[in-house]
Structure 1
Amino acid sequence: MPAAVIADIVSSRELPDRRTAQRGLEAALARVAADGPTPERELVPVVGDEMQGVYRELSSALTATVLLQLALPEGVELRFGLGLGDIEEIPSVGGALSEGEAWWAARGAIEKVEQLARRVAPTARTWVATSETATPETVELVRVANSGLLARDRAIAQLSPRTRRLVYGRWLGRTQSDLAAAEGIVQSAVSQALAAAEAGALIEGLRALADAPG
């Protein structure tokens, strides 16, 4: 079942330099597109501060969104709405229009996570929804995913920008020595930063998603 993804920039109007932030965001999108799962439709800006994309299944969408959270430039955050369901391509004079249950669910999901962040879970950044006609198995999958996403987003929110880069690099398989050289620090500092953040849990979670059948 395809997963539609809608993303937008958190507090975009408060960014001190919107143009620079957009360039950094687009660089992060390109990096994740190269390193992460192959999308059916690449996650790209569409209008204002919104981005849209499509992945073949939920595990790919979850992998891409966590990698993007780790790759974003300092000071830029995204929220994500993921929708499961049918997607229909409708011919149009301006090109095919993508519609369907997955998009409606994704829109509801991003509204839900914004509400959660405003009221009860300030670090919430990702939510999954499905259509009203979804099977009980899909509904249960969404419930389980959302429970884990709240914990995942909180863990990422507590990482420093450097530690996010280190986690991303370790997931790619780069050595601690290589990462230390890139950051201009010693290898022991990399090891300590990863250990202090208990980053191994995030890395193993990413690997589990990337190995999921789909």
Structure 2
Amino acid sequence: MDSSPPLTAVIIDISKSRSHADRAALQREIETAFGRVNSEVPALQPIAPTVSDEFQAVYADLALTLRATLLARLVLPEGIECRFGIGRGDVVIVGSGVVGAVQDGSAWWTARKAIDEARQHQYSKLGFVRTWYNAESPEDALVNAYLLARDQIVGGMNPRARRLLLGQLLGSTQAQLALDEGISQSAVSQNLSRSGANAIVAGAALIAKDAR
């Protein structure tokens, strides 16, 4: 894989995976959920399982990565949480292994640092943190400020609010969402406003617009 321009690597792990009674069923559910993300967001390396409770992916730019990690959190089965470490830099192939090419590079080093930081924050007063960014650059603070707000809003949502946010991000109308949920369109509108979903949708639109 070409190391220039810089790429964005993502490391994902399942939070508290050992506490689930049927680990194999959990893995299947998460792989199915992440398959939805892979169908929506173009990736140089789609989200795929690696070892134990870890998944990895590579994207061409940060905007795609932010969208993918947001969708990934929203498609997870109810009660399941994952952490996301995002790094930026070069991705290089250094050999071959049992499951394919062995990759290395600064994108992976910083992604590993980022997921370690996300894990540390999760067990602090910032317990809502699920996503962290590390590119060892001045933009880190700006990206993480956005992620802090995003994680707190999404973390405070109930399952219906998450479904409605996901639907909006994927282009569903409020009328369609109302039909899917068996509620009125007015109730959908109120939920989107009350839950903070409108802010998340607006932020995602700004990021996508800036990336074009």
> 2-side partners of 1:41 and 1:61: how far apart?
11
Once the two structures are superposed, the pairs formed by residues 93-132 of structure 1 within 5 Å of their partners are 94=98, 95-131=100-136
Across the two proteins, how many residue pairs are aligned to each other? 206
The answer as to 2:68 corresponding to 1:64 is: yes
Question: Aligned partner of 1:51: which letter?
Answer: F
**Residue in structure 1 matched with residue 56 of structure 2 by the alignment:** 52
CA distance in 2, matches of 1:19, 1:91: 29
The residue that corresponds to 1:157 in the other structure is 155
Deviation string, structure 1 residues 64-123 (Cα, Å, up to 9, x no partner) = 001111111101111011111111112326432111111111111111110011122000
1:19 is paired with a residue of what secondary structure? helix
- Stretches of structure 2 that go unaligned for 5 or more consecutive residues are 1-5
CA distance in 2, matches of 1:71, 1:150: 19
* 2:204 maps to amino acid: L
- Aligned partners of 2:129 and 2:152 also within 8 Å: yes
Q: Hey, what's the Cα distance between the residues in 1 that align with 2:184 and 2:21?
A: 32
- Determine the structure 2 residue equivalent to 1:21: 26
Match of 1:196 in 2: 194
How far residue 147 of structure 1 moved from its aligned partner, in angstroms, is 1.5
Does the alignment pair 1:42 with 2:38? no
Identity %: 42
With the length of structure 2 as denominator, give the TM-score of the two structures: 0.91
Give the secondary structure class of the aligned counterpart of 1:191: helix
Distance, in Å, in 1 between the alignment partners of 2:21 and 2:179 is 30
The Cα shift of 1:40 comes to: 0.7
Report the Cα distance in structure 2 between the residues aligned to 1:13 and 1:206, rounded to whole angstroms: 33
SS in 2 for 1:91: strand
Q: Does the 8 A contact of 2:153 with 2:196 survive in 1?
A: no
Does residue 211 (structure 1) correspond to residue 176 (structure 2)? The answer is no
Letter of the 2:144 counterpart: N
Does residue 88 of structure 2 align to residue 84 of structure 1? yes
Does the 8 A contact of 1:60 with 1:209 survive in 2? no
Specify the SS of the correspondent of 1:185.
coil
Q: What is the TM-score normalised by the length of structure 1?
A: 0.90
Please identify runs of 4+ aligned residues in structure 1 that moved more than 3 A. none
- Distance change >3 Å, CA 20–CA 212, structure 1 → 2: farther
Q: Secondary structure at the match of 1:119?
A: coil
Tell me the distance in 2 between the aligned counterparts of 1:70 and 1:207: 17
Measured on the aligned residues, the alpha-carbon RMSD in Å equals 1.6
Tell me which residue corresponds to 1:185.
Answer: 183
